[in-house]
Structure 1
Amino acid sequence: MQDRITFYYSPQTRARSVMVLLGELKAPYDLHILNMKAGEQRQPEFLAVNPLGKVPTIRHGEAVVTEQAAIHIYLGDLFPEAGLTPAIEDPLRGPYLRWMVYYPACFEPAVVDRFMKREPAPESQSPYGTYDQVMDVLRDQLAKGPYLLGDKMTVADVLWGAALSWTLQFGIVPDYPEFKDYAARMSERPAFKRAAEKDAAIAAEHEAAVAGKG
């Protein structure tokens, strides 16, 4: 019998995409909620699991996995029967891994620099090149099909669907039709809707808990 996953979660964070993915995979898990507004992520119990005090984090048996993209890759491989992860011999495996890593390596640094109004490094030294290059590469890829790798949905679409939903919401990526259509398509999936509703409910509970102590 496969070990259940312990999922460390806080609302209004990157952890929501992992909640979506667990739903898409129909994976058994136990939800461990941290109230970041109350500083629970800095308590010794959680720091013993993830010394950075970050979510998402999962524990599976003896394995602790941190970092959003790594968790998505791990869970997709753990549940191949869901059909959302290209196998190692699949020609899509390489492009799949490319886009899983492109998100934290290029997209996030680019949009964070833009959001914080920070001057990026010179193009020759920047880990992502330029913001416009990152956006154009992603736009061109999404123009090829309904999903990131064409006609077949993968775990990468869960990661990128969540990413484009929140970056469009905050206006830190261009409102290209390819971005808007893709984000809307992914957000309409039942697993995305359930995660959004649960996230909002937990966030409200945390706000009330903090207000009650004020």
Structure 2
Amino acid sequence: MAITFYTNPMSRGQIVRWMLEEVGEPYETVVLDYSDDGMKSAAYRAINPMGKVPAIVHDGRVVTECAAICAYLADTFPAAGLAPPPAERHAYYRWLFFAAGPVEAAVTNRALGFVVPEGRERMAGYGSFDETVATLETAVSGDAWICGDQFTAADVYVGAQVDWGLSFKSIPSSPLLEAYAARLRERPAYKRQKEIDGALIAATQKQG
């Protein structure tokens, strides 16, 4: 297989598996644990020096970081229709990288109990958590997808942030976010990803 996918089912690798299922190309899965023999091994650090998953290797080319992998796969397999035409990618790029930057930082900092000191919001990049979530809502405020009627890689990445955030209550619920998440959860590729990773998690817990 041309694509090798390095992951752990209890990680952001779920985002990339969803994207791979949307693309529909065959891929090989390599499951790594969090040990020195897994993600932290010299062999895997040769692929990702950060020693974290997910990562893909496609025809010898390494891609890491979830948003980058989603964008790469959309461009590499255009027949899947997961990226708009180049002249119409303004919303696609805007919200894909908004989720990878401000949303990721704001949600993570809040989960860790970090609060930006008053008056220092400009240094944080995302301003405040509330501003970030309010802005996120504008990305999904339509009746369909981020780029209108076309479902794209931006919906996979932004959608994963919304889906997880609502599920684990790291993002506050709202009618707009709940409606968007409900649409995402009906996608066959989303369901396949949950089934595959759910089975891997269950197998891991049984072994433990």
Q: What SS does the aligned partner of 1:42 have?
A: coil
Displacement after TM superposition at 1:64 (Å): 0.5
Structure 2: 5+ residue runs without aligned partners? Answer: none
TM-score (norm 2): 0.93
Displacement after TM superposition at 1:159 (Å): 1.0
Closer, same or farther in 2 for the Cα pair 1:36/1:201, shift >3 Å?
farther
User: Using the alignment, how far apart are the partners of 1:18 and 1:50 within structure 2?
Assistant: 15
90, 93, 98: which one aligns with 1:94: 90
- The equivalent residue for 2:65 is 67
TM-score (norm 1): 0.90
Q: Which amino acid aligns with 2:115?
A: E
- The equivalent residue for 2:51 is 53
CA contact (8 A) 1:9 1:56 kept: yes
1:205 paired with 2:188, answer: no
- The equivalent residue for 2:148 is 150
- The equivalent residue for 1:108 is 104
Aligned residue pairs: how many? 206
CA contact (8 A) 1:37 1:206 kept: no
CA contact (8 A) 1:161 1:187 kept: no
User: After the TM superposition, which of the residue ranges 67-76 and 53-62 deviates more from structure 2?
Assistant: 53-62
Closer, same or farther in 2 for the Cα pair 1:37/1:206, shift >3 Å?
farther
Closer, same or farther in 2 for the Cα pair 1:39/1:132, shift >3 Å?
farther
1:27 paired with 2:31, answer: no
CA contact (8 A) 2:84 2:147 kept: no
User: Using the alignment, how far apart are the partners of 1:180 and 1:69 within structure 2?
Assistant: 22
Please list the CA deviations of residues 150-189 of structure 1 after superposition, one character each: whole Å capped at 9, or x if unmatched: 2221111111222111111111111011111111210121
Q: What SS does the aligned partner of 2:57 have?
A: strand
Sequence identity (%):
37
Q: Which amino acid aligns with 1:10?
A: N
CA contact (8 A) 1:17 1:162 kept: yes
User: After the TM superposition, which of the residue ranges 26-35 and 62-71 deviates more from structure 2?
Assistant: 26-35
- The equivalent residue for 2:74 is 76
Q: Deviating runs (4+, > 6 A) in structure 1?
A: none
Displacement after TM superposition at 1:149 (Å): 2.1
User: After the TM superposition, which of the residue ranges 148-157 and 75-84 deviates more from structure 2?
Assistant: 148-157
Displacement after TM superposition at 1:94 (Å): 2.1
- The equivalent residue for 1:196 is 194
Q: What SS does the aligned partner of 1:40 have?
A: coil
Structure 1: 5+ residue runs without aligned partners? Answer: none
User: Using the alignment, how far apart are the partners of 1:64 and 1:54 within structure 2?
Assistant: 13
RMSD: 1.6
Q: Which amino acid aligns with 2:110?
A: R
176, 179, 184: which one aligns with 1:178: 176
User: Using the alignment, how far apart are the partners of 2:149 and 2:94 within structure 1?
Assistant: 17
User: After the TM superposition, which of the residue ranges 100-109 and 149-158 deviates more from structure 2?
Assistant: 149-158
